[in-house]
Structure 1
Amino acid sequence: MTTTLITGANRSLGLETTRRLLEAGHTVYAGMRDTANGDAARALGAHVVQLDVTQQASVDRALASLPELDVLVNNAGILGRSFGVDDLSAETLEEVLDTNVVGLVRVTQAALPLLRLSGAPVIVNVASGVGWPRFLSTEGHDEFPVPAVPYAASKAAVIALTVQYAKNLPGFRANVSDPGYTATDFNRHSGHQTVAEGTDATVALALLGPEGPTGEFHNRHGRIDY
């Protein structure tokens, strides 16, 4: 049985990833800041775990509660409170980086001892095309009109972090997914993709075997070329 931990699993992309990996036969631990919001994950059959990626003690308790771990899906993330330059400050940047980047590292580092015991360890980091400079700077891409600085910077960091983790962990499959412009609470459900479509890449990467790729950036259509 494959054991999987998903952060930010109480709603939207995280909850749909939970559903699909349970359907694929995984035992899923659904991490979330407030377990009172875990009814939907429980109804699916997931084990709900209190996990706040911004709090080291919470991360450590969550990982200590797992009997084993094969797949880590770092899905938790926030959009932040800054949506341009005029409302940008060091504080609004730090807030987003602490969850989306530092939080990812907190969880991954705490998970490594368990993952190293797995015969086929997998890490999937959920980023965004908003962190991809080519998409941000090319008219016609969904990402081009986005002016927010902290969110874009955080997802660019997630992509780079994933490449570096892959190089440092050659026995792992460590990849990064782009959900695409998906209808979620993040964008007031304005995205043109469903949550099922938005989780296609994450789920595919979570299901990789030992011969699968590592250090790559994928959307639902496959690898995004650098």
Structure 2
Amino acid sequence: MTDTWVIVGASRGIGLEFVRQLLQNGHHVIAGVRNVSKADRLLELKSHCTTPERCIIEECDITNEESIQKFANRVGDAAKEGLKVKNIVLNAGILQYPNRATELSFPEFALHLHTNTIGPIICAQKLVNLDPESPPSKIVFISSDSGSTTLFRDDEDGFGAYGASKAALNQMLRHMAAELTRRGGKWSDTCVLAMHPGEVQTDMANIDLGWEVKGSIQPDESVTGMLKVIEEKDETGSFWCWDGRLQYD
């Protein structure tokens, strides 16, 4: 069977860069995007593959349970045809700025939680349970140091809902890691990781903030570092920075 990476949230930014580098390194990729017809850069990337079947593009709206289930079913079908899901990266997320606790509406808060917490966890749940005889090696959630409660950054004005959604994600993925370990058997070999990608210059980060963002990096530098960390780290339930530093929640 051919080892395959599943990247959810692959149409732009960090997710797109994951697909680019993985294809460049010879891997097979199943890329999940909210709207395939609007994933122009991903479709162009696939068009340059000498063997297009190495990049499968499927719809996955992380805020829609039915869409998540259909995506998981298609990943399962691909596995039956000879692709082995080795690693899963849950990258889909949203940042609607500002999202202050003293100002945001119920729907605005709910959108951050649905997109950044609930959707990624449910999607990972569906994918990890596809094949009890061959669960994935690693499940990686793209989190953020904005969700750190230990190192709370009170200068990040307007990141209330975003930070809360990432903090909730970190807690849930730790439960997922512990539950898989308790299942025993091959499940206990699945490693669940959280990753802080750094202050990456992407479309989502293209907002006018009221403070200086230090240490900004490009998506290629972030993903190169994260791929190295993903390969090296095997402490399930742990939280790492893109450059290999242990990140505290």
- TM-score under structure 1 normalisation? 0.86
Q: Are the equivalent residues in 2 in contact too, given 1:128–1:178 (CA < 8 A)?
A: yes
Structure 1 stretches lacking a partner, 5+ long:
139-143
- Kindly tell me: are residues 3 and 117 of structure 1, through their superposed partners in 2, closer, same or farther at Cα, counting changes over 3 Å? farther
Q: Are the equivalent residues in 2 in contact too, given 1:126–1:202 (CA < 8 A)?
A: no
1:148 aligns with 2:172: no
Q: Are the equivalent residues in 2 in contact too, given 1:124–1:175 (CA < 8 A)?
A: yes
1:207 aligns with 2:231: yes
Question: What are the residue-to-residue correspondences of 1:118-197 with 2, within 5 Å?
Answer: 118=134, 121-137=137-153, 144-169=155-180, 170-188=188-206, 192-197=216-221
Corresponding residue for residue 31 of structure 1: 32
Q: Secondary structure at the match of 1:48?
A: strand
Q: Give the C-alpha shift of residue 133 in structure 1.
A: 2.3
Q: Distance in 1 between matches of 2:135 and 2:175?
A: 21
Q: Give the C-alpha shift of residue 200 in structure 1.
A: 3.8
Q: Are the equivalent residues in 1 in contact too, given 2:62–2:123 (CA < 8 A)?
A: yes
- Kindly tell me: are residues 201 and 133 of structure 1, through their superposed partners in 2, closer, same or farther at Cα, counting changes over 3 Å? farther
Identity of aligned residues (%): 26
- TM-score under structure 2 normalisation? 0.79
Corresponding residue for residue 141 of structure 1: none
Aligned AA for 1:215?
G
Output the aligned Cα RMSD.
2.3
Q: Give the C-alpha shift of residue 131 in structure 1.
A: 0.5
Aligned AA for 1:214?
T
- Kindly tell me: are residues 197 and 133 of structure 1, through their superposed partners in 2, closer, same or farther at Cα, counting changes over 3 Å? farther
Aligned AA for 1:12?
G
Structure 2 stretches lacking a partner, 5+ long:
47-54, 80-84, 181-187
1:224 aligns with 2:224: no
Aligned AA for 1:219?
C
Aligned AA for 1:60?
Q
Structure with larger Rg: 2
Corresponding residue for residue 121 of structure 2: 105
Q: Give the C-alpha shift of residue 167 in structure 1.
A: 1.1
Aligned AA for 2:116?
N
